[in-house]
Structure 1
């Protein structure tokens, strides 16, 4: 029996338990798409290739496993680059299949002939071209393995159209068409007893310890273990980026909420007072102020636990302990040690002080809410928090909008908060496709996108995808009619502004034009009625166009501008 390369792609995806593929139709991938229709794999077609990658990203983050996107070559591929690079720096495991020209036409001036892998190789975990259909199963197997093993990230597999169309005899295949555990972990190094004993000793000696939980704890699925473990540790715990919600902000006494320094919330004061900082799976980058002085300082001690030692902070500080170990293995060993030895490390007075700092910060923030015509973001987000379902997935996009929402919205379940600009690439605009991908990954949960008006414009056409494929999400546009971050940066650094104002656009009406529902919220006094009018579950994508005070700048915006000001 003969089989085409395209059929082998679909067969391999099925055997790797892929049930959904994101993409944008093009000639070079059409041989695959026509076979997807009969495979049981659902295809979601976007309006832009960048959005296809972002949608797969959102799906992957919620599922905590690989997602697949495919785009045609040439401009289809170049349109997707931002999404791939974003996934690389955010460590999201994606398998991206790209088309290309017929092999015999390479380097002859063929339409869309270009060195695609040369453009993206440095920003993937692995990239390769398949030159023979018989190698498709083998190389897709490698792709899933490499995307998920070790530090996660995207891989790109280029398959020329002639390879997809060519038929081969099934009996000639080597038998590599096997199943791959897409959650494979080849670096599950175990924490030694000496390591655990030293950790407990340092934690016991500390007067003001804090624990920071990062992305590794999320992908390692540590939430159940942490629930039991923290019953032995009465210590302030902060969750960061993908780890938000892995310990509930609302239901666990030890959890002090968002630990990402970028939001400039109460975490900055508490962390600066700590005498021991325990960093579990958190990378050192600008989102954490590079773990540098003055917030983090040489009077503190540090324990750093990660599989990926190159990402660890504090290596320049003398009082730093580094353990290269799988975070799940470490936390499991620690839990067993504390339970078997009936140990409980109590830092009740320090935890109470941290709680007081948090309450004081938000009390002071509430006092900034004054009667106004336009909507105050503190008032709006506090009201929203009281309305939404406890497990609503929150996608945060923009700059000022993202900082406000990251500061004020709580996370109570793992994977509940998706930061559109996560990682060091930091693009604005992925929010809507990320939200749609998240909804497809968790159809039983509400998904809410909180986005700036500038960011929303990048992928606004995906409202059509939402309606066409019946993927209902709630979109809240933090509409301050400006590129908020750039506006404040220019005001602070240059005492003048240019190119930062946006038109007075009715995003509610744009949503209605695509077939969704729209609500305009113009006045602060209308906030309660607008939010209480939201019906759950969301029947169709809806947009609340919220006219915010144009000068209501978040603490995170001020913090980020301080960072930019230091760039000299």
Structure 2
């Protein structure tokens, strides 16, 4: 007997039409028909131990592939558990669809199992959130969800489907939507682009700030072309890391503060003037002129005035600027000044990077990782101070090859991002740099990776504390007055992973980090290396600035 085509099949077929390869989830009864449809459609179901982790995986997939990730969670607590992952994606402009089950329509307002108003809950952290009540409309709702998720500044969308709607039979003549969204990218207003070009031509101390918008635009090649035309320092922010090779002569990192203090024109491409950039004012020259390019006008001029605000896709606007003749024949003396400062600061870090001390100097920890990894490795940062230090030394060489929580600052993304990255790029090394605090948030996802044979290597910089929080508490209330900030550095995290069936190793000698990494990658299973780093040498920062 031929299997009936039900609502779950319609959802799966709509996902398949979008090129969805994986459904990230945690087992739930309210979404059983969706599972059935995905199995029949050839979409692999990847399951986690917490819905937050499933949502993070969908977010991570989007960041690596530039294609929307998809998660499915059960009703009620399944949705509430996923909220953190959805919110993190929202602040990162990460396109993803979260599907949710819902109690049957005929049980609405009767106290059904896991009944709640899920759309109201997630409306503030999604671009679009709806319930579909009719099986015939499911393909249209899924199509609309993808259209909204991928338009303008991208972001998460949410669709919940009552269980009876999922089970209902699909009309045999129901057609799937076709040609329902565009990949068109908007150009900037020509007059404003011309004004921006004029500012750049007159600039004596220009710099470029390239943020996540450059990555979401897929504009890394255009960015390199602009860098070589201007011959000006380029600084990468957030998901923009990797959009210009660290081997490029116009790639800069350490000297950002120096450059911002003296720049007379800043070309800001797809950046947010948030806490990561001092809200666009702290550390900037008071007379600086700012050109801001963003696909969404809402973000132009937020927190600081701009001299020219161009609404458009960063890649398209770069091409327009180049067409306007932006560029110089000779490298400005200014660029050489910034390069000298970059070299000075890099040299300052060398003693730490070369230290043989035990416990391990955190800069040596980062250097050993950098020197071991393949040039095309994908690196995930999930932590506070240890990730901040590592990010200044371990440089992404390709777009989408550095993943961190993003502006929401959500720890615990690590294993989900690593799993998604490995599924997306199975031939590449995936290395997860952890703090010992962040490790504990979703550590059981090692079991998910082990069981489903998705290998990655996590390496913990263990300083026995929630370091960023501890330094703030002690600065406010005195040395030793930091309740809830201390962790036990002797906790055998590596043994936990080994006990789950992975590979685990503890390291106290910096000369053993690279050999341990080699053994971990050679094991072919998810691995954890627990490195004891010296907490007294951490260049700690705090959320209070």
TM-score by length of 1: 0.91
1:179/1:6 Cα in 2 relative to 1: closer, same or farther (>3 Å)? Answer: farther
Question: Secondary structure at the residue paired with 1:128?
Answer: strand
Alignment of 1:418-457 (within 5 A): 418-420=403-405, 422-423=406-407, 425-457=408-440
Q: Which residue of 2 is the match for residue 298 of structure 1?
A: 286
Q: Which residue of 1 is the match for residue 167 of structure 2?
A: 165
CA contact (8 A) 2:506 2:529 kept: yes
CA distance in structure 2 between the aligned counterparts of 1:92 and 1:535, rounded to whole angstroms: 29
1:386/1:163 Cα in 2 relative to 1: closer, same or farther (>3 Å)? Answer: same
2:342 is aligned with 1:358: yes
Alignment of 1:140-179 (within 5 A): 140-171=142-173, 173=174, 175-178=175-178
Give 5+ residue unaligned stretches, structure 1: 258-264, 564-568
Task: Give the CA deviation at 1:345.
Answer: 5.2
Task: Give the CA deviation at 1:300.
Answer: 1.1
> Which of 349, 358, 382 in structure 2 is aligned with 1:373?
358
CA contact (8 A) 1:204 1:345 kept: no
> Which of 79, 82, 90 in structure 2 is aligned with 1:80?
82
Q: Which residue of 2 is the match for residue 27 of structure 1?
A: 29
CA distance in structure 1 between the aligned counterparts of 2:232 and 2:530, rounded to whole angstroms: 40
1:345/1:322 Cα in 2 relative to 1: closer, same or farther (>3 Å)? Answer: farther
Task: Give the CA deviation at 1:284.
Answer: 1.5
CA distance in structure 2 between the aligned counterparts of 1:462 and 1:55, rounded to whole angstroms: 11
Q: Deviations over 1:103-143 (max 9, x none)?
A: 11111111111111111111100000010100000000000
CA contact (8 A) 1:338 1:344 kept: no
Task: Give the CA deviation at 1:176.
Answer: 4.5
Q: Which residue of 2 is the match for residue 249 of structure 1?
A: 246
Question: Secondary structure at the residue paired with 1:230?
Answer: helix
CA distance in structure 2 between the aligned counterparts of 1:442 and 1:285, rounded to whole angstroms: 31
Q: Deviations over 1:506-530 (max 9, x none)?
A: 1111111111111111133433543
2:312 is aligned with 1:325: yes
Q: Which residue of 2 is the match for residue 509 of structure 1?
A: 495
Q: Deviations over 1:148-194 (max 9, x none)?
A: 011100000000100001114222x3x3532555xx445613441x4
Q: Which residue of 2 is the match for residue 228 of structure 1?
A: 225
1:468/1:534 Cα in 2 relative to 1: closer, same or farther (>3 Å)? Answer: closer
CA distance in structure 2 between the aligned counterparts of 1:120 and 1:359, rounded to whole angstroms: 47
Q: Which residue of 1 is the match for residue 13 of structure 2?
A: 11
Task: Give the CA deviation at 1:234.
Answer: 0.7
Question: Secondary structure at the residue paired with 1:167?
Answer: coil
1:526/1:168 Cα in 2 relative to 1: closer, same or farther (>3 Å)? Answer: closer
Q: Deviations over 1:339-369 (max 9, x none)?
A: 9xxx535443211111111111122222356
Task: Give the CA deviation at 1:50.
Answer: 0.6
> Which of 270, 275, 279 in structure 2 is aligned with 1:286?
275
> Which of 216, 221, 241 in structure 2 is aligned with 1:219?
216
CA contact (8 A) 1:394 1:416 kept: yes
CA contact (8 A) 1:233 1:346 kept: no
CA distance in structure 2 between the aligned counterparts of 1:315 and 1:87, rounded to whole angstroms: 22
Aligned-residue Cα RMSD (Å) equals 2.0
Task: Give the CA deviation at 1:335.
Answer: 2.9
2:255 is aligned with 1:266: yes
CA distance in structure 2 between the aligned counterparts of 1:349 and 1:228, rounded to whole angstroms: 20
CA distance in structure 2 between the aligned counterparts of 1:459 and 1:436, rounded to whole angstroms: 12
Alignment of 1:427-506 (within 5 A): 427-495=410-478, 496-503=481-488, 504-506=490-492
Question: Secondary structure at the residue paired with 1:149?
Answer: coil
TM-score by length of 2: 0.94
Task: Give the CA deviation at 1:533.
Answer: 4.8
Q: Which residue of 2 is the match for residue 262 of structure 1?
A: none
CA contact (8 A) 2:494 2:504 kept: yes
CA distance in structure 1 between the aligned counterparts of 2:543 and 2:410, rounded to whole angstroms: 17
Q: Deviations over 1:180-209 (max 9, x none)?
A: 55xx445613441x4444333322221111
Give 5+ residue unaligned stretches, structure 2: none
Q: Which residue of 1 is the match for residue 296 of structure 2?
A: 308
